[in-house]
Structure 1
Amino acid sequence: MVLILALLAAIALIWGLTAIVEKFRLGLSLTQAILYAPLKLIYRISDSRIGIATEATAPVIYVVTHQSRLDPALMLSLLPENTLHILDPYSARSLWLEPWRELARTIAFNAEHVFVSRRLVRVLRGKGRLAVYIPAAVEPDTRSFRLYRAVIRIAMQADARIVPIFIGNANLLPFQIDGKSPSPRRWFPRLSMSVLEPMTAEELVARNGSPATRNAHALFDRMAEARLAAIDPALTVFQAVRDAAERFGTGRIAVEDATGSQLSYRALLGGAHILGKRFSALAEPGEAVGIMLPNTNGAVLTLLGLSSAGRTAALINYTAGPANVSAAVGMAVIRTVVSSRTFVEKAALGDIVHSVEEAGAKLVWLEDLQSGITAMDKLAAALLWRYPLGRQDARKPAVILFTSGTEGLPKAAVLSSRNLIANAMQAEARITITTDDVALNVLPMFHSFGLTAGTILPLVAGMRLFLYPSPLHYKLIPQVAWRLKPTVMFGTDTFLAHYARTASEDDFSSLRFVVAGAEAVKPETRRVWRERFDTAIIEGYGLTEAAPVAAVNTAIHNRDGTVGRLLPGMKMRIEPVEGIAEGGRMFLSGPNVMMGYMSADRPGEIQPLPSGWQDTGDIVKVDREGFITITGRAARFAKIAGEMVPLGAIEMLVQSLWPEESHAVVSVPHAKRGERIVLVTTAAAADPESLRKLGKQAGLAELAVPGDIVKVAEIPVLGSGKTDYRATRELAIRHLAAGSAA
């Protein structure tokens, strides 16, 4: 009995001391502090930013992302006592919440009437405070989205500031408001308060300097930013995967490849520990080490091993040709390249290996590194898999990616761990994914889309990842999908169109959606996937320099013909372009935008972006809801007789004429007009008369209609699936010189 009394006295003492500390530290009332203290102790709450909310000048609306039943208790404990809380029916009548409800005024939530009440506007106009709890769905349905509209409307009428609040890791708690959780549940996760600065509705709407929405999207984007701000920006790629292992379960299968090999999170990080020790002996801290591997478990192990060791992974595009590979090795000052003998032999990459060695780099074979593993190595990995081998700094270079070279020579883009993890979390804050999802990634890791969206995102979000080594196996990939039953897939329009031609209706029936990027999705491709597989293609937009995703549609917020809306945390600037009446050239900034370029004339030196803005080179227009339409590339405009002609727009028109074929529109020199337009196509039936009729129907000037047609068996493509316009242009010039154009 004495022991029990002593224990209770100790608990009471700790409780009381914590309450006193929190009262003075956070400016709480004594009752608030007493009720907050046990929550603080149990969930080790990081609450340093809550002062932004409590010190906000009234009138103010606190918009809380409502994930768990615990949220109202926390907010009632922390927000000023004169705040009016609008609670859901459960929270409004739950007995266990009664002590917390006594801390402030509360009213029950009525989705049909509460937000049109003039009372709320009067409360705010009287220098009041309002706490609104909005469902946590990343992609809210129409009914939930009305709440965003209502909050914006009330804020405008009352001239109130809006403070978004997101409770990090609350989604891990076992008491979810919808009875579901996207992650394995934990009783005592560490919680953190993500609170953003107060802004008026007008300030939210005007932030991007574009004709953005005058409705709920402005608030919706701000709430997504609060979700994003809950992520620790100091995590490296290795640390983010390690934290995912601890969150989702170390024994959970993380990755599988086409050989049938499966790795749990523990095995993955243990293998990374073993390889990381080898890499520490091969390269100096911060040094770039090349990776020349297909989509396999070995590639992921190598990537994480380099991150653990504090080395930079340079992903080499082995499909780019010897000259580009040699240039890449020189630009990034790569002394060591990790590859596989089996892969080099099967892919017939002897010329690529020769170019790597000629550029001064040494090939290290993964088979040799794995064959030297000892029992002591395995023991160390089993005990120390959680701990990185080298100094971790998320601000330092993590990977070097080489741009596709669609229109010119490739460049080396340097991305930090902060860029990569931020981009993965930006995508997670916009697209609904869960630990029940199975991701099929056929895109190579040397392509930024295949690396971040196709590999890093599934690993840090707890999705089960299946890696397939080549996107070019058009007949085999549908069979893999039929066996695997993936729910999420990543691809490009070119690849998706090919898979649809060889697949049966059941092959992709398990997919919830396909995320497509790198090139515009053709209407025909979208139609085929909808009709045959009942699968939506979610089109996005990205560039290697943005790690790469910058904008994306979602399953619910989707507008065909656009690339979606800007990701949370990003800013956009549109500059006018001479000769283009609508839209302009897009510049981007954000936490995912790269550190800078490396170039051949200054190898190994990172050249930062001017003022942190990335020139995308894309011509865009933005509608009032923030959906972005790509109208062309600055480099893909031809100037003919003084007129700016968008080659991409012409290409889309030609696609509508022969939808089942592949086309590329390029410009070549012309003695009188400066340039002339050429259609390169696989359509055997393509003829100049049909093009002229199409141009007339579309209202195109005669000079914008392709005057020459080059028919080919295949359009040149890059390893990423994008059209290789540089090679296509050279092909067109050769055909014109030989007189073989129509």
Structure 2
Amino acid sequence: MAAMLRGQQMILPCDESPEVLEALVQPGRTLCLVSDGADLAVSGNLPHLVFDSDELGVGEDVVGAPLVLDEGYWTRPDAVVLFTSGSTGAPRPQPKSLQQLFLRAQQTATAVLNADLERVVATVPLQHMYGLENGLLLPLVAGLCAVDYRPFYPADIAAVVTSRTLLVSTPDHLRYCVQSNQEFVAGRVLSATAPLSQELAAALEASCSCSLIEIYGSTENGVMATRKTASEAAWTLLQGLGLQREGERCWLVGGGQKQLLSDRIECLNDGRFLLQGRDQDLVKISGKRHSFSALTRLVQSIEGVEDAVVFTENDDYSRLCALVVSSVSVEQVRAGLRRKVDPVFLPRPLLRVERLPRNKVGKLPRSALLAALADARKVLRRGHKEE
């Protein structure tokens, strides 16, 4: 918001690691890192301004007059630069105009809000597309209170949400709430960043006595569609958006723009659609097909498995790997999976770890997965054999 008042470009990195921050420094680009007091390790190449919101004082007017933005700044195509999560490779910059962001926030508000909601609580950081759109911009355009607190543990979430709260969260966070048997009452829950199972959605709705809406979106395209996952599989596009198919490709159209989607889409006669996965999600081994996301869900469904991921460490997909967080042995997990899939899709190796390297929005950057796999192999070689 401070950058908007000054008409400056905002660059929102995918995380605060020194490597990521240093990579933003480029010849001819003048940058200043603004943070809220977090202990960030940055070099002298990047000036650092620590912003303490407490110095403003409670209830103090920061802007005395209504904010009026210059038209050129409002439509500047790179006024805000976000980054993809890196789950399929290196994070890629995604420039956005303020006009794009605020218009999509208005469309989302129409689709997900009801008259009883008064405030928004987000468990995700605001520098990511999902958090920025729904944790900050949505309450701004809808006149709701945005709570300046990001709860982490299920008990923290239960303490801050009420029947008039919109909770913006992720399947990872919501799963922990259900597993911990932490009940709370919310006005509505939004979920995104990873597929949400119908079972988890139904369990969440029962425990928090409210409806859950899943969001389909991406950093490249923003929020695109919604569904009530506990009761439906099909997605409904936001008002003003449409799909245009050209051969095997599908494009999102709206707001004078046309953007290619990376997902395979099945369009239904009633205007809704089904997701059939991403091309990058397909696994082809020995002439047979499966998907990483489906294999991951199968592993996660095995009794005793708390979290899991199936992926590949090479580009030809010839060898599947899996990391699992579980209270049962690797052999038990492997036996459970063998009953569910063709043997060619059994991950080798399948290794147990204490936790998966999820980032703050619950995603698994590929670089972090490969590092975790290497660490798990080192542990195995040191003689800490799996049960």
Secondary structure of the 1:333 match is coil
- 2:318 is the alignment partner of 1:675: yes
Give the aligned partner of residue 146 of structure 2: 465
Secondary structure of the 2:101 match is helix
Secondary structure of the 1:344 match is coil
- What residue ranges of structure 2 are gaps of 5+ in the alignment? none
Question: CA offsets per residue over residues 551-588 of structure 1, 9 Å max, x none?
Answer: 11259xx74445x2222222324566xxxxxxx65432
Task: Determine the C-alpha separation between the residues in 2 that align with 1:613 and 1:656.
Answer: 38
Give the aligned partner of residue 259 of structure 2: 614
- 2:155 is the alignment partner of 1:475: yes
Task: Determine the C-alpha separation between the residues in 2 that align with 1:488 and 1:344.
Answer: 26
Work out the number of aligned pairs and report it: 377
- 2:50 is the alignment partner of 1:365: yes
- 2:7 is the alignment partner of 1:310: yes
Give the aligned partner of residue 255 of structure 2: 591
Q: Is the 8 A contact 2:117 2:187 kept in 1?
A: no
Question: CA offsets per residue over residues 88-108 of structure 1, 9 Å max, x none?
Answer: xxxxxxxxxxxxxxxxxxxxx
Equivalent runs, 1:526-605 vs 2, <5 Å: 526-546=201-221, 548-553=222-227, 559-562=231-234, 564-574=235-245, 586-591=250-255
Task: Determine the C-alpha separation between the residues in 2 that align with 1:332 and 1:522.
Answer: 47
Give the aligned partner of residue 369 of structure 2: 728
Give the aligned partner of residue 333 of structure 1: 29
Give the aligned partner of residue 286 of structure 2: 641
Question: CA offsets per residue over residues 210-236 of structure 1, 9 Å max, x none?
Answer: xxxxxxxxxxxxxxxxxxxxxxxxxxx
Secondary structure of the 2:213 match is strand
- 2:170 is the alignment partner of 1:499: no
Cα deviation, residue 313, structure 1:
1.8
Equivalent runs, 1:128-527 vs 2, <5 Å: 303=1, 305-319=2-16, 321-330=17-26, 333-340=29-36, 343-345=37-39, 349=40, 351=41, 353-354=42-43, 357=44, 360-367=45-52, 381-382=63-64, 385-388=65-68, 393-396=73-76, 397-434=78-115, 436-469=117-150, 471-481=151-161, 485-502=163-180, 504-505=182-183, 508-509=184-185, 511-527=186-202
Q: 1:381 to 1:394 in 2, by over 3 A?
A: closer
Task: Determine the C-alpha separation between the residues in 1 that align with 2:195 and 2:62.
Answer: 48
Q: CA RMSD in A?
A: 3.3
Q: Is the 8 A contact 1:332 1:412 kept in 2?
A: no
Q: 1:446 to 1:716 in 2, by over 3 A?
A: same
- 2:377 is the alignment partner of 1:711: no
Q: Is the 8 A contact 2:155 2:182 kept in 1?
A: no
Question: CA offsets per residue over residues 237-292 of structure 1, 9 Å max, x none?
Answer: xxxxxxxxxxxxxxxxxxxxxxxxxxxxxxxxxxxxxxxxxxxxxxxxxxxxxxxx
Q: 1:381 to 1:730 in 2, by over 3 A?
A: closer
2:340 is aligned, of 664, 688, 694, to 694
Q: 1:405 to 1:461 in 2, by over 3 A?
A: same
Q: 1:706 to 1:536 in 2, by over 3 A?
A: farther
Secondary structure of the 1:717 match is coil
Task: Determine the C-alpha separation between the residues in 2 that align with 1:649 and 1:674.
Answer: 15
Secondary structure of the 1:427 match is helix
Taking every aligned residue pair, what percent have the same amino acid on both sides?
Answer: 22
Cα deviation, residue 623, structure 1:
3.3
Q: 1:399 to 1:434 in 2, by over 3 A?
A: farther
Q: 1:425 to 1:680 in 2, by over 3 A?
A: same
Q: Is the 8 A contact 1:399 1:416 kept in 2?
A: yes
Task: Determine the C-alpha separation between the residues in 1 that align with 2:294 and 2:371.
Answer: 21
Q: 1:658 to 1:679 in 2, by over 3 A?
A: farther
Cα deviation, residue 550, structure 1:
0.8
Q: Is the 8 A contact 1:408 1:726 kept in 2?
A: yes
Equivalent runs, 1:57-72 vs 2, <5 Å: none
**TM-score when scaled to structure 2?**
0.84
Q: 1:613 to 1:381 in 2, by over 3 A?
A: closer
Cα deviation, residue 660, structure 1:
6.0
Q: Is the 8 A contact 2:22 2:46 kept in 1?
A: no
Task: Determine the C-alpha separation between the residues in 2 that align with 1:730 and 1:652.
Answer: 22
Cα deviation, residue 322, structure 1:
2.0
Secondary structure of the 1:648 match is helix
Cα deviation, residue 416, structure 1:
0.6
Question: CA offsets per residue over residues 677-723 of structure 1, 9 Å max, x none?
Answer: 2221112324322211112xxxxx43223343111111111221223
Task: Determine the C-alpha separation between the residues in 2 that align with 1:675 and 1:338.
Answer: 44
Q: 1:702 to 1:503 in 2, by over 3 A?
A: closer
Q: 1:485 to 1:730 in 2, by over 3 A?
A: same
| Counterpart amino acid of residue 472 in structure 1 | F
| Counterpart amino acid of residue 572 in structure 1 | L
Cα deviation, residue 661, structure 1:
1.3
| Counterpart amino acid of residue 326 in structure 2 | A
Task: Determine the C-alpha separation between the residues in 2 that align with 1:381 and 1:536.
Answer: 36
Task: Determine the C-alpha separation between the residues in 2 that align with 1:646 and 1:331.
Answer: 42
Question: CA offsets per residue over residues 134-158 of structure 1, 9 Å max, x none?
Answer: xxxxxxxxxxxxxxxxxxxxxxxxx
Q: 1:585 to 1:708 in 2, by over 3 A?
A: farther
Equivalent runs, 1:99-138 vs 2, <5 Å: none
**Which structure carries more helix by proportion?**
1
More displaced stretch, 660-669 vs 639-648: 639-648
Cα deviation, residue 436, structure 1:
4.6
Task: Determine the C-alpha separation between the residues in 1 that align with 2:367 and 2:323.
Answer: 12
Cα deviation, residue 531, structure 1:
2.5
Q: Is the 8 A contact 1:631 1:646 kept in 2?
A: no
Task: Determine the C-alpha separation between the residues in 2 that align with 1:729 and 1:429.
Answer: 40
Q: Is the 8 A contact 1:431 1:554 kept in 2?
A: no
| Counterpart amino acid of residue 349 in structure 2 | D
Rg larger in structure: 1
